[in-house]
Amino acid sequence: MATDIQKISGLSSKDAALRLRRDGFNELPQTRQSPLFIFILKLFREPMFLLLLGGVALYFILGDIAESMMLLVFVIVIMGITCYQEYRSEKAIIALRNLSSPRAFVIRDGKGIRIAGREVVSGDIIVLNEGDAVPADAKLFSVTNLLVNESILTGESQAVRKSSVDETDTRDIVRSGGDDLPFVYSGTQVVQGNGYAKVIATGINTEMGRIGVSLNTLSTDRTRLQKETDSLVRNFAIFGFIICALVVIIYGVTRMDWLQGSLVGITLAMAILPEELPVVITVFLALGTRRIALSKVLTREIPAVEALGSATVLCVDKTGTITQNRMTVSQLFDGDDSSGVFGSTLSENFHQLMEYGVLASQRDPFDQMEIAIKSFGECYLKNSEHWHQSWQLIHQYPLSRKLLAMSQVWESTNGKHYVIAAKGAPEDIFELCHLDQNKIKEIQSEVEVMAHKGLRVIGVAKASFPQKKLPDGQHDFNFEFLGLIGLEDPIRPNVFESVRSCYQAGIRVIMITGDYLSTAKEIASQIGLNAAKGAFTGDELAQISDEDLEKRIKDINIFARILPEQKLRIVNALKANGEVVAMTGDGVNDAPALKSANIGVAMGGRGTDVARESAGLVLLNDDFSSLVTSIRLGRRIYTNIKKAMVYLLAVHLPIICLTAIPVIFKWPLLLWPIHIVFLQLIIDPTCSIVFEAAPEEADIMMCPPRRSKEKLFNRRSVFLGLMQGFGVLVLSLGALLVTKFLGWSETDTRALVFAVLVISNIALIFVNLSEHFSLANRDILSNRVLWIVVFTTLSFLTAVLTIPTLKELFYF
């Protein structure tokens, strides 16, 4: 038997808070912020850190205690910077994991509210609907066609049927598995129907907790960019250590000083090894997810951030994404007459239509369409005989793939027959009412009129049935057609600009909706969607092969009357044509399409937990404009990573050459480990903080999407980095030759070359920070971290060039 939500009070808020304090949060042990010593231990596995310690040891062996201590201080500073970067990255990821936790619909203080799943307590009354993740172990006391997927516990992919608890059943809980058990278990998924249950176990006391399974909702696998940089660093490391060994041998053989040769080798290895690359990628992606979250988009899978910049197609739902999902009843049709203007009273002709529209909706609705119908009915029918708050709900017949209509069976206070109210897609209501073709054609013309206005149209019907065993399906009732309800859903205010921004960025927008084609075309015209090449309906889609769809989808931007399972075909056809697809979805049946899309985007407000867990991104406000903003931020992240990569290449080239050239030509050495470490103190925070904070380019959404397989170090990036690095090298060698011509000492020459190298390093930061460099650029002037780095660098440079003790330590 179905249950009235109004008759359930649930826990009080005060009682729930007390139980939460007593029992703790409803969650399994999760990964927490790593302590500081874990970050320090990780450093001992880094090649650069080991090289630095090697340099400290060699200085100590050579008796240069001051140099050894100075280098050790720098090592500690670099450790601090690296640990801070790792800490920020891990903190961002853990914060996102906590945000990603499932939600729960509970009844407290007699009202239904949606809370975080971790806040559910023992004794809570939870409401389960299709697509929900079960938040805790609970005992069912009311179910309607409830099927639950328990494969996470049992390994069986087939959903199991649930029943309500028998009054004689005193069991607290039994093991999962099998049909007709009155229990649901934490972490399982509702695939059909609905039910009410009382929580009996939370957290580690659940079935999930007892078997020790921990669900991490955020993937932390290495991304494509991270794998690319890992490979690059590994290759550079191998190359660097080979060159290092050769330099040590050459220096030792030619100058007969193997300890100094080892120091030179360490210096060169430090110059070659681009150990900043993995840190840059990790920090940019982790902090990028936080920036994206500020625009109301939650990142559940880090690779989705990488893919955002290469998205070529956005497939979006109309309802709630393009529109506001705040429906109002705009027009009524009773089978003969139509009205779209409502004053203080509603014509008697429409009373029965709205009466059964309300009866076909949930008594305490969550769906925006049902909220609109109930609000409208309450406004005009509340004090009339057509308002039935005292009736008891007996049974529900939910929507199905074969029949897009639902019915609710009510027991009236004085009748001997059950009253059945049905609502759904007009064509399915026609089918339930067994209307003849002439009548269908007549009503269909009114449907088209409403659809042309951009309204969402549903049909309403009624039936009665003797108070005996109810039939299995809705077709067994003798329904009478009552009319149509047209609902208006206003378009979100920023959608027009967002669609135009997508077109400027070379991104195609496809609208997918279950509404009528006329409705879809009207909405498309209002938002500026390019629909010149026609549209497709679900029926047409069902009649063509995948090969034909791949050919025809190249020009089609509107898909109407689409079933959720047809979205997967659309996504696969687009991917087969080489598109990078972002797909939005909110229902259980959207999950396969979300999984298949390059970027699955679930709705955070109205989306099911199944959809959320299948997606890489979650729109917390269900707004299309937020998705476009996240694409812009994704492009910014990738662009800034490329800027950092060019800077790294440019800055490493002269350091490598200025270390190797004196060895080859038997000149006095210009750079020692202490100089390399000083430069690292500039390079590390610049790459991971200054470039990460760099604002987007003004024309970032005027460029076409990047190729999905584009490498960070493509020909253009390598050429740009080499040219910049070569320019710095020429300046440094020029300074070296001038000092030789003027007869300067070795220490003065080293000081000048080092100063040129540091100042050129600062210049490289400014040059690469923006593709349209200008010192008058407000974004550069407002980059606080940049000026901190510049001021600190120049202050330290001045100190080592003027303070005698530091000059001696730096061999100046």
Mean pLDDT by 10 residues, the chain (812 residues): 62 92 80 56 60 64 64 66 61 56 84 87 90 88 84 70 73 69 86 87 82 46 68 74 79 77 72 69 77 82 82 87 86 86 81 94 81 91 87 84 88 84 94 92 92 91 88 91 92 91 93 87 90 85 92 91 87 93 81 87 74 80 87 89 87 85 81 78 74 83 84 83 92 89 89 91 86 60 78 89 87 82
Structure letter (DSSP) for residue 666: T
What integer pLDDT is reported at residue 776 of this predicted model?
Answer: 53
CB atoms within 10 A of CB 407: 25
What integer pLDDT is reported at residue 171 of this predicted model?
Answer: 63
Token code pair at residue 673: 């480990």
What integer pLDDT is reported at residue 422 of this predicted model?
Answer: 96
Biggest CA-to-CA distance, the chain: 115
Residue 794, C-beta contacts closer than 8 angstroms, at least 6 positions apart:
762
Give the Cα separation of 444 and 640 in Å (integer): 54
What integer pLDDT is reported at residue 315 of this predicted model?
Answer: 92
What integer pLDDT is reported at residue 44 of this predicted model?
Answer: 62
What integer pLDDT is reported at residue 212 of this predicted model?
Answer: 54
DSSP string for 667-722: PPP---HHHHHHHHHHHHHIIIIITTTPPPPTTTTSSPPPPTT--TT-HHHHHHHH
3-class state of residue 7 by DSSP: helix
Type of residue at 475? H
Token code pair at residue 4: 């009235």
CB-neighbour burial class of residue 647 (10 A; exposed 0-12, middle 13-18, buried 19+): buried
Q: Is 180 a catalytic residue?
A: no
Give the Cα separation of 644 and 686 in Å (integer): 8
DSSP string for 269-295: HHHH--THHHHHHHHHHHHHHHHHHHT
The helix or strand, by DSSP H or E, that contains position 90, with its residue range, turns out to be helix 65-99
Nearest to 613 by CA among 94, 119, 97: 97
CA separation (Å) from 689 to 82, 181, 635, 636, 769? 11, 55, 17, 14, 12
The helix or strand, by DSSP H or E, that contains position 462, with its residue range, turns out to be strand 456-466
Give the Cα separation of 225 and 654 in Å (integer): 26
C-alpha dihedral sign at 591, 593, 595, 601: negative
What integer pLDDT is reported at residue 657 of this predicted model?
Answer: 85
What integer pLDDT is reported at residue 619 of this predicted model?
Answer: 84
- Which candidate in 124, 317, 489, 623 is catalytic? 317
What integer pLDDT is reported at residue 209 of this predicted model?
Answer: 76
What integer pLDDT is reported at residue 41 of this predicted model?
Answer: 65
What integer pLDDT is reported at residue 83 of this predicted model?
Answer: 65
CB atoms within 10 A of CB 571: 26
C-alpha dihedral sign at 491, 492, 497, 499: negative
Residue 189 phi, psi dihedral angles, 5° rounding: -125, 135
Residue 806, C-beta contacts closer than 8 angstroms, at least 6 positions apart:
799, 800
Question: Is there a contact between 304 and 616 (Cβ–Cβ < 8 Å)?
Answer: yes
Residue 131, C-beta contacts closer than 8 angstroms, at least 6 positions apart:
189, 190, 191, 587, 588, 607, 608, 609, 610, 611
